[in-house]
């Protein structure tokens, strides 16, 4: 466990050295610039649009980090041949894989936390620009803490994407890993269509196959409750908790697979 | 960065800026007959393509709808049309069915006849019915459907039926039931129209819609003024046997206290005995659809 922690801290330090956290500046600039411009364009819908944009930006920056760093976690060590010196030390392969994963998870956590603080700070500032007569017409207060539920699920989604990227990177090239991860993420938004596939095909085999895929493929759409929180629609905590549990089980499955594949790899 | 690199970058940046200025001087992009492009018109397809960005895409389409409406309305090219307004609002509300302001925007502007709008009350009603399906507890959507029937289609029975339906919502305001009764009894009268616009002006949250309702109320006032002025011109003609050449003549004859101005302060026009809004009046054109309003 201590070794996993040390590897994780190293991955985090490396991401800081690689200036990954610069995206936080891009996030802040994007939100401030958009908030300034939107008032003229949106016919009174600026607060809703800034919330939509902020939540989408937190998810998007996180996804880019999860995919493009996730695919290089193992590959970089192999490419630099530093994997030989690493594995010659008393580090077991599963510790190496889990440490790498935990390190990127820590990077993502710091990213999401900082972006969330910046997001709420900008919303709090914008809130001061509107009179109370306008504020009462919003479906939710500017700094509605209910949005944290969406951010929590975004974070779990990012952890899942990282696990997918790491899984693919244990046996394929970075380009292929990125393509497979992004492909799986896209397919993961079509789960509802897979469930109702039997309505559009006549072949029972195809319908069963689609139904099977519906259960097996990760349901990324389930993590998206951004619209609901922006309108302050009810999102029961039970839903949030079961979706988080679903994400955690899927992550555990992918990490187990990644460890199993990596353990069998021959680096001679 | 050494001085030479710095200078090179400066020269290249100046070149890019200069070429952009030349581009602008030459009139920009070549004219295109397909300026209004909407690559994906199917809301179902767009919902799938949006992945987890449906709300953000709805915002993009909303901004496009506002831009499309604004630029088309301000355009001096008579061939410019509002042909994308409904598809854009349809996409907006399909991607984000809770985007209530898009339904109200459609109810006010889709039905307006050219040059102020596309003149499609059917589209306005379709959009509002879609909204009512998505948000079945919003009495305002039912009221807006009644409004389109009232103002643009002059179907007062249908309008009253929708106002009655709106009044049956548990959270409907108390004035909704009397509005239905007034519509049935006096449908098309300026007074009932005034009542309707006044309630819209007081009931909506958005400044845009409040301004539009205020403009409509001023138009109704102007229509009252024009009736009075037409009566004064007719009385002058009856007395003198000729049409007045200008307002001053009517004023000197004691028919008017001065040069009449519309509610925005622009003088009314009098030409060959016919009165109308002055050039440049923001109330122009007066509603042509509800011409029977009396």
Contact B51 A189 (CB under 8 A): yes
Distance CA B165, CA B197 (A): 19
Domain that holds residue B197: 188-294
Put simply, the answer to whether A43 touches B55 (Cβ < 8 Å) is no
CB contact burial B191-222 (16+ within 10 A = b; e otherwise)? ebbebbbbbbbeebbbebbeebbeebbbbbbb
pLDDT of residue A179: 94
B53 and B164 in a single domain? The answer is yes
pLDDT of residue A248: 95
Query: What pLDDT does A246 receive?
Result: 95
**Chain A residue with minimum CA distance to B54:** A227
| Average pLDDT over all residues of chain B | 84
Contact B66 A220 (CB under 8 A): no
Residue B21 lies in a domain: no
Contact B98 A53 (CB under 8 A): no
Query: Does residue B136 share a domain with residue B89?
Result: yes
Quick check: pTM over 0.90?
no
Q: Are residues B132 and B68 in the same domain?
A: yes
Residues of B in contact with A41 (CB under 8 A): 63, 66-67
Query: Could you give the CA distance from residue A84 to residue B224 in angstroms, rounded to a whole number?
Result: 91
Q: How many domains would you assign to chain B? A: 2
CATH code, domain with B77: 1.25.40.10
Q: Mutate which of B59, B136, B209, B212 to disrupt the A interface (most A C-beta within 10 Å)?
A: B59
User: Six-digit token pair at A251?
Assistant: 């992550």
CB-based burial of residue B185 (10 Å sphere; 0-12 exposed, 13-18 middle, 19+ buried)? exposed
Residue B107 belongs to a domain: yes
Domain for residue B31, yes or no? Answer: no
Please tell me the total count of domains within chain A. 1
CA separation for the pair A48, A231 (Å, rounded): 8
Select from A45, A50, A194, A231 the residue whose CB has the most chain B CBs within 10 Å, as the one to mutate to test that interface: A45
Of the three residues B186, B204, B221, the one that is the final residue of a domain is: B186
Q: What is the mean pLDDT of each run of 10 residues along chain B (294 residues)?
A: 85 88 76 62 83 90 88 77 90 93 87 84 94 93 91 87 90 80 72 77 70 84 89 89 87 86 90 87 71 45
The beta-carbon neighbor of B205 closest among A42, A137, A223 is A137
pLDDT score recorded for residue A81:
81
Looking at B141, B164, B186, the residue that finishes a domain is: B186
Q: Is residue B29 part of a domain?
A: no
Does B62 contact A137 at a Cβ distance shorter than 8 Å? no
Question: Which residue among A52, A185, A221 sits closest to B59, beta carbon to beta carbon?
Answer: A52
| Residues B202, B163 share a domain | no
C-alpha span between A177 and A78 (Å, rounded): 15
Nearest CA in chain A to B209: A43
| Shortest CA distance from A44: residue in chain B | B206
Residue at a domain's end among B133, B151, B186: B186
Candidates B51, B55, B208; nearest CB to A43: B208
Whether B170 is covered by a domain: the verdict is: yes
ipTM (interface pTM): 0.82
Q: Does A45 touch chain B (CB under 8 A)?
A: yes
Residues from chain A that touch B105, judged by Cβ atoms under 8 A, are 43
Chain A residues in contact with B54 (beta carbon < 8 A): 227
Question: Is there a domain that residue B218 lies in?
Answer: yes
Mean pLDDT per 10-residue interval, chain A, length 268 residues = 86 82 78 72 79 91 90 84 81 90 93 92 89 83 93 96 94 91 92 78 82 88 92 92 95 94 81
Is residue B262 within 8 A of residue B283, CB to CB? The reply is yes
What range defines the domain where residue A203 resides? 2-264
pLDDT of residue B32: 53
* Claim to verify: residue B181 and residue B70 sit in the same structural domain: yes
């Amino acid at each position: 466990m201590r070794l996993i922690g040390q590897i994780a801290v190293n991955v985090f330090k490396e991401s800081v050295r690689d200036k990954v956290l610069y995206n936080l500046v891009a996030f802040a600039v994007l939100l401030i610039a958009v908030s300034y411009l939107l008032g003229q364009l949106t016919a009174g819908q600026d607060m809703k649009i800034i919330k939509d944009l902020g939540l989408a930006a937190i998810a998007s920056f996180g996804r880019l980090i999860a995919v493009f760093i996730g695919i290089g976690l193992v590959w970089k060590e192999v490419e630099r041949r530093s994997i030989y010196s690493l594995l010659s030390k008393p580090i077991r392969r599963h510790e190496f894989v889990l440490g790498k994963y935990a390190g990127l998870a820590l990077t993502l956590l710091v990213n999401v936390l900082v972006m969330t603080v910046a997001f709420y700070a900008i919303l709090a500032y914008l809130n001061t620009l509107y009179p109370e007569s306008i504020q009462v017409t919003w479906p939710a207060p500017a700094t509605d803490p209910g949005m944290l539920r969406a951010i929590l699920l975004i974070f779990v989604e990012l952890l899942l994407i990282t696990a997918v990227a790491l899984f693919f990177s244990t046996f394929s090239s970075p380009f292929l890993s990125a393509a497979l991860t992004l492909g799986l993420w896209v397919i993961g938004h079509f789960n509802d269509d897979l469930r109702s596939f039997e309505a559009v095909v006549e072949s029972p085999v195809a319908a069963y196959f689609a139904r099977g895929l519906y259960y097996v493929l990760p349901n990324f759409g389930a993590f998206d409750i951004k619209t609901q929180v922006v309108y302050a629609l009810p999102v029961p905590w039970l839903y949030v908790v079961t979706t988080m549990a679903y994400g955690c089980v899927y992550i555990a499955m992918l990490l187990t697979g990644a460890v199993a594949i990596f353990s069998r790899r021959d680096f001679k | 960065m050494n001085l030479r690199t710095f200078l090179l970058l400066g020269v290249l940046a100046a070149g890019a800026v200069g070429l952009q200025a030349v581009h602008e001087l030459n009139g920009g992009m070549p004219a295109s007959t397909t300026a209004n492009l909407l690559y994906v018109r199917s809301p179902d397809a767009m919902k799938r393509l949006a992945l987890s960005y449906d709300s953000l895409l709805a915002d993009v389409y909303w901004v496009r709808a506002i831009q499309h409406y604004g630029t088309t309305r301000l355009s001096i090219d008579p061939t410019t049309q509002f042909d994308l307004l409904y598809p854009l609002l349809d996409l907006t509300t399909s991607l984000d069915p809770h985007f209530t302001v898009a339904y109200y925007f459609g109810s006010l502007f889709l039905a307006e006849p050219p040059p102020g709008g596309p003149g499609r009350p059917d589209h306005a009603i379709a959009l509002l019915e879609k909204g009512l399906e998505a948000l079945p507890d919003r009495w305002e959507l039912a009221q807006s459907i009644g409004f389109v029937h009232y103002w643009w289609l002059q179907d007062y029975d249908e309008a009253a039926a929708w106002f009655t339906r709106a009044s049956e919502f548990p959270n409907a305001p108390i004035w909704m039931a009397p509005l239905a009764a007034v519509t049935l009894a006096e449908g098309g009268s300026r007074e009932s129209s005034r009542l309707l616009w006044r309630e819209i002006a007081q009931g909506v949250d958005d400044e845009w819609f409040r301004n539009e309702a205020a403009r409509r109320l001023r138009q109704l006032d102007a229509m009252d003024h024009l009736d009075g002025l037409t009566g004064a011109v007719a009385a002058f003609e009856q007395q003198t046997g000729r049409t007045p050449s200008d307002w001053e003549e009517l004023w000197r004859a004691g028919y008017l206290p001065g040069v009449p101005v519309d509610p925005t302060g622009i003088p009314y026009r009098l030409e060959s005995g016919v009165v109308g809004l002055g050039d440049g009046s923001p109330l122009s054109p007066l509603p042509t659809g509800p011409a029977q309003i009396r």
